[in-house]
Each structure stands twice: as C-alpha cells, then as structure tokens.
C-alpha cells in the first residue's frame, strides 16, 4: 500500500478509537484478525498468563530464563553507569537534575508473519529495571502463544491485551474503557504500527520510528563466507523489505558469499567490493546500519573509527542473530540510517530527566537585571514585569 494510503487509513483508525474506544477495537479484531471478542476479554487473565509458564516445554522455559538473565545482566550494568540525580550550589543558587522512571509504558509486540517472545524480553526487562510501575503489552491474538505469555511473565509485564495494529497503538495512546492510556509506547511493528506511532507522538511518547530491519557486514579474507551468507539470509528473513549489505575487502570472499545466498533472497542482499579498509569503513559509517557486523582480522581497530550503528557485532562468532535473542543489549534498534542520531532501546529510554531551580532572594537580586534586559529585548513585557515586581520588593 502507498504511503499516503497508509497515512489516511491509520488516521481513520485513530479517529475511530478516539470516538468509539473498545467498540472500534472489537470491530478491528473481526475485520483483520477474524476473531470475535467482547471488550472485557481483550485483557488477558492473570490465570492464563500463569498457566503459560507450565504450558511451554522445559527446554523453552529454560531458554527464556537464560536469555532473560543475559538481557537483565547487561541492562543492570548499563543502569550502574547511568547519570544520577545531582545538586549544585553556588552563590545562593541551588540547581540540579532529577532522574525518575516513566510511570506507564506500552510494549508493542509484532504478530504478523512470526511470533516474537524475544521482543517481550528485550523491551520489558529494561523497563522493569528502570523502575516502570505499569508495563502493558499488546499483541495480535493470533500470535498470543504460550511462549509470548511466558516471556511476559518472566520479564515483569503487568497487563496484556490481545489487540494489534494501529488500533492497539491508538488504544495505548488515547486510552479506552478497557485499556488505560500509557505515557510511552515502545517496540517494533509494521508500516501501519509505525505510522500510528508517528501520528500519535506528542499525545504519547515513542521510542523510535523503526523501518524494515537491516544488516551491514564489513568483512575481509579472515571472515567465513558461509557464516556471512547465513547471517545475510537470516536478516532478509525478517521481512520482504529487510536489507542485508556486505562490504567486502576481498573479491574472492564476495564471490563465495554471493554463491551461497539463496536465490529467493538475492534481491534483498547487496554486495560491494572495496579493497581499501578506510573507504570500506567510511561506507559502513555512511550506511549507519541497525546491525553492523565487523568480521575482520582486527575488528576493534575498525570499531574505534566508526560512529554510526545500532549495535556493533565483532568477529566471526558474534552474529546479529545472537543479538536478537541472547547477547544482552535490546534488539529494538534505529533503522533507515537513523543510527546517526538515535540510539537503541535501553534503561535510559524509560527515564525522564527534570531540572530544578532554587534561587535565594540575594541571588535573585544579583541576577535579575541581566534577565530583565533580555526580557525587554525580546519584547515580553509581562516577563519583564514578573522580574520588576520582585526587584522592587527587594529594594524595600
């Protein structure tokens, strides 16, 4: 569907949710998910969530626990290195900043072609570590598997609603009788979900506007061609719009990789030969990929020169696929070259920074003249008066 059609459809969905709330959510489920639910059944019961832990296989439960611990360990270390609230006092002025968790967060878990328990872990765990009290998950009912529910239970999700698409985003942003509004929405989604986040930004906070997933591989003759082809194919598997790009310093390696990529995925894979390491690194930096694999003999040396990338993966045994599930950092990352100015989801995503100002009367009288002159220069007469009335009182 064309972009303008997506925009108009999403706009209508948001308008309908704003006007009709739960009734719209129910109609959308019938139309797109072929599921009939009464509003009170949109919320998943606590019993169903609890049962999911016993419904998954022993291996799956163990795997979820292992991945959850890795993700938690990474974000715990991140939290230890985050800035803390601080206070500074000088000449009668007390200034500072306060870091506090966002009160409520909505997590969108995609449910289109695949089911993503990994996304539940990658979004809810850093939110919980940040101190978010209310963590709400939404996902289409067709993908509400025991694995998804078990991951939500392990990660600390507090509410789950079986709704998806732009209607779910609108419900989280605007609130309905059944789905109370949240302050921030995070998580990946298709073009309709992303457009809904774009249109509702301001009414609610969002993490980022994620596009199709992408992988950039920078490799030399040290790299394993079979590994690279497998990694590029895995990335292309996400979505027909996903892209995999190889920048090879070895023409021989490039030819080997090209021969190994499945024919049905070749239109999603771009291969470039660049024998100069400096120019190859510059190209990788320009692409600013969501995932950047440095499959080089000395990857750290190149990493030290790079600036743009969602997450960097070093050497032959650090594929982006491990970042999808087990490595630790969240796999919710900036796409479409937005890594030039944006960062992946982290504990910091769920924190607010507020400043405070405490000026003594003596300090005010010293600084008010400078503030007054600026207010007068800007033509803001009432700003100036708010200063003068205190200056007069200080003269008495």
Catalytic sites, residue numbers:
290-291
Q: What's the CA gap between 216 and 214, in Å, rounded?
A: 7
Q: What's the CA gap between 377 and 369, in Å, rounded?
A: 12
SS3 of residue 188 by DSSP: coil
Other CB atoms within 10 A of residue 118 CB: 19
Yes or no: say if 139 and 110 are a contact pair by the CB < 8 Å rule. yes
| CA-to-CA dists, residue 303 to 54, 89, 105, 223, angstroms | 43, 40, 33, 16
Q: What's the CA gap between 347 and 75, in Å, rounded?
A: 7
- Identify which of 141, 172, 125 has the alpha carbon closest to the alpha carbon of residue 26: 141
Q: What's the CA gap between 359 and 349, in Å, rounded?
A: 31
Q: What's the CA gap between 182 and 173, in Å, rounded?
A: 6
Radius of gyration of the chain (CA): 25
Packed helices 191-200 and 3-20: angle between N→C axes, nearest 10 degrees: 60
- Identify which of 199, 169, 166 has the alpha carbon closest to the alpha carbon of residue 182: 169
The CA angle 99-109-25, to the nearest 5 degrees, is 105
- Identify which of 278, 297, 302 has the alpha carbon closest to the alpha carbon of residue 222: 297
Other CB atoms within 10 A of residue 193 CB: 25
């Amino acid at each position: 569907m064309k972009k303008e059609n997506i925009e108009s459809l999403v706009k209508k969905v948001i308008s309908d949710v704003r006007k009709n709330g739960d009734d719209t959510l129910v109609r959308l489920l019938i139309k797109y998910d072929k599921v009939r639910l009464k509003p009170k059944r949109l919320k998943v019961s606590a019993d169903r969530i609890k049962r999911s832990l016993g419904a998954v296989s022993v291996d799956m439960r163990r795997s979820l626990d292992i991945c959850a611990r890795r993700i938690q360990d990474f974000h715990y270390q991140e939290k230890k290195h985050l800035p803390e609230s601080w206070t500074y006092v000088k000449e009668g002025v007390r200034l500072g900043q306060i870091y506090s968790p966002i009160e409520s967060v909505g997590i969108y878990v995609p449910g289109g072609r695949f089911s993503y328990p990994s996304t539940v872990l990658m979004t809810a765990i850093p939110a919980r570590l940040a101190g978010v009290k209310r963590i709400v998950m939404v996902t289409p009912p067709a993908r509400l598997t025991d694995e998804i529910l078990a991951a939500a239970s392990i990660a600390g999700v507090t509410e789950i609603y079986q709704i998806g698409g732009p209607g779910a985003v609108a419900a989280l942003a605007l609130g309905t009788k059944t789905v109370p509004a949240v302050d921030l929405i995070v998580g990946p989604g298709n073009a309709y979900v992303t457009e809904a986040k774009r249109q509702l930004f301001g009414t609610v906070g969002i993490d980022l506007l994620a596009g199709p997933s992408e992988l950039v591989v920078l490799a030399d003759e040290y790299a394993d061609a079979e590994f690279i082809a497998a990694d590029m194919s895995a990335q292309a598997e996400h979505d027909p719009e996903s892209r995999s790009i190889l920048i090879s310093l070895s023409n021989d390696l490039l030819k080997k990789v090209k021969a190994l990529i499945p024919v049905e995925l070749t239109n999603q894979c771009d291969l470039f030969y660049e024998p100069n390491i400096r120019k190859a690194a510059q190209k990788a930096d320009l692409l600013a990929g969501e995932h950047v694999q440095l499959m080089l003999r000395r990857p750290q040396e190149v990493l030290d020169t790079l600036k743009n990338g969602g997450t960097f993966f070093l050497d032959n045994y650090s594929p982006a696929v491990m970042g999808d599930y087990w490595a630790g950092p969240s796999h919710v990352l900036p796409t479409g070259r937005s890594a030039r100015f944006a960062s992946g989801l982290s504990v910091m995503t769920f924190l607010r920074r507020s400043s405070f100002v405490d000026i003594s009367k003596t300090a005010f009288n010293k600084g008010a003249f400078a503030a007054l002159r600026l207010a007068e220069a800007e033509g803001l007469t009432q700003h100036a008066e708010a200063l003068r009335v205190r200056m007069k009182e200080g003269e008495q």
